[in-house]
Structure 1
């Protein structure tokens, strides 16, 4: 019986294509990662970074930073700027009304450019000071995550407010255009989230959290006509209200700074300052 001839296996000369395809896939993934890293939103990155710092920055885990560059020699002579600042703080604690004057003057001096362009305004009386900012300075449309510009702006305001113990509450307002998203079903949620975001930034920049509160009024306290684009832009705002004492803050936050008046009842309010944080 004749033996069957074994068929010779066909040699695959295109096996290199498998390795080549794998290489191209990895190369594509590499460029996608590089692109995503290069387009990180600075604002969102800073929020994430501060969150991790808060979790891991415990006293028993902290290390001394490595000094870079020249360091100023230590001296027993007190810094005159620091001494004058301490005197200023002490005077403000003794006279809450004086602290409101100091805060008003400092904001007007530091933000003269924004005031002249009507993007920021400062007003007040003997009981409270209002620092009003257009929402376009702080947030993207329909969002409550601070923009990159907001971090620097709020840090400058926090530097002014931090030395004082006056209570602060942040008010959020929107226009009357409806918003229906999973995160913000109505303008109530959006205005409240924006106010809370600013409070969080202030706390991160040195303002005592025990002094602060946030409240959202949605679309229901307009300062301009919502029928025009200009009016809606004015109504989208965030207001920082610095009060003489806690009683004034509680009274104002119930109706909103735009509707509150320095009447006799508020003038008779106690002089209880904000209690410093025990932390």
Structure 2
């Protein structure tokens, strides 16, 4: 009798154990899906690492190209071969790998005005000629600057607005001289970037973007 009770107890325990194992068994299709997802994630991670390495290589290459362009521009400025040398009222400098042609505001405009002086057009004509012949296809930003004196006798209420109108006047004139309208745009900085004197601060800079 005792042996029968022990046998019955073992049978019941076995049934319970089988039931427990059955409850914890992952269906085959779920297991296969998890394995496939894990494999895909590993593949995606490997691909992301390859793309990151490639991007880093390209970035290093671009940095080297930029340094070379800066060095070449500095040599051209030192040698006087940018094409802008000898144009009255201009200065030539670099900003990174960009060529910056500065034109004195007093060469271009009367005090407080935004219409170009007639005498300034020969200067801009020569600049436009060099842009077309040596820098075709490059983007050009025309930047306007003023001194810090408050405006008292002008149609423009702020130096920022005055610098904007002057930059747009130069931009519009360059377009009439054959510069592609889609490649040139203007920007205004008012008195935010002063130079050594008020006369030097009043300027327009034509930036040829690398």
**TM-score, normalised by the number of residues in structure 2:** 0.59
Partner of 1:221: 193
RMSD over aligned CA atoms reads 2.6
Give the whole-Å Cα distance in 1 for the aligned partners of 2:189 and 2:85: 29
* Mapped pair 1:184 → 2:171: no
Give the whole-Å Cα distance in 2 for the aligned partners of 1:219 and 1:241: 18
Does structure 2 retain, via aligned residues, the 8 Å contact 1:180–1:186? Answer: no
Q: Give a deviation string over 1:192-217, Cα, whole Å, max 9, x none.
A: 00000000010000111111110111
* Mapped pair 1:138 → 2:108: yes
Does structure 1 retain, via aligned residues, the 8 Å contact 2:112–2:154? Answer: no
The DSSP-based 3-state class of the residue aligned with 1:107 is: coil
Shift in alpha-carbon separation, 1:121–1:182, aligned structure 2, 3 A: closer
Aligned residue among 173, 184, 209 for 2:181: 209
The DSSP-based 3-state class of the residue aligned with 2:129 is: helix
Q: How many equivalent residue pairs?
A: 137
Partner of 1:234: 200
Partner of 2:127: 157
Shift in alpha-carbon separation, 1:177–1:108, aligned structure 2, 3 A: same
Aligned residue among 107, 125, 131 for 2:83: 107
Give the whole-Å Cα distance in 1 for the aligned partners of 2:174 and 2:137: 14
**TM-score, normalised by the number of residues in structure 1:** 0.45
Give the whole-Å Cα distance in 2 for the aligned partners of 1:187 and 1:107: 31
Aligned residue among 143, 149, 163 for 1:171: 143
Does structure 1 retain, via aligned residues, the 8 Å contact 2:113–2:154? Answer: no
Does structure 2 retain, via aligned residues, the 8 Å contact 1:191–1:216? Answer: yes
Instruction: Show structure 2 runs of 5+ residues with no match.
Output: 1-64
Give the whole-Å Cα distance in 1 for the aligned partners of 2:160 and 2:153: 12
Shift in alpha-carbon separation, 1:130–1:180, aligned structure 2, 3 A: same
Shift of 1:150: 1.4
Shift of 1:149: 1.2
Q: Give a deviation string over 1:16-37, Cα, whole Å, max 9, x none.
A: xxxxxxxxxxxxxxxxxxxxxx
Give the whole-Å Cα distance in 1 for the aligned partners of 2:85 and 2:190: 31
Higher RCO (Cα < 8 Å, 6 or more apart)? 2
Does structure 1 retain, via aligned residues, the 8 Å contact 2:147–2:194? Answer: yes
Does structure 2 retain, via aligned residues, the 8 Å contact 1:168–1:211? Answer: yes
Shift of 1:157: 0.5
Deviates more, 1:144-153 or 1:100-109: 100-109
User: Quick check: which has more Rg, 1 or 2?
Assistant: 2
Structure with greater proportional helix content: 2
Give the whole-Å Cα distance in 1 for the aligned partners of 2:191 and 2:206: 17
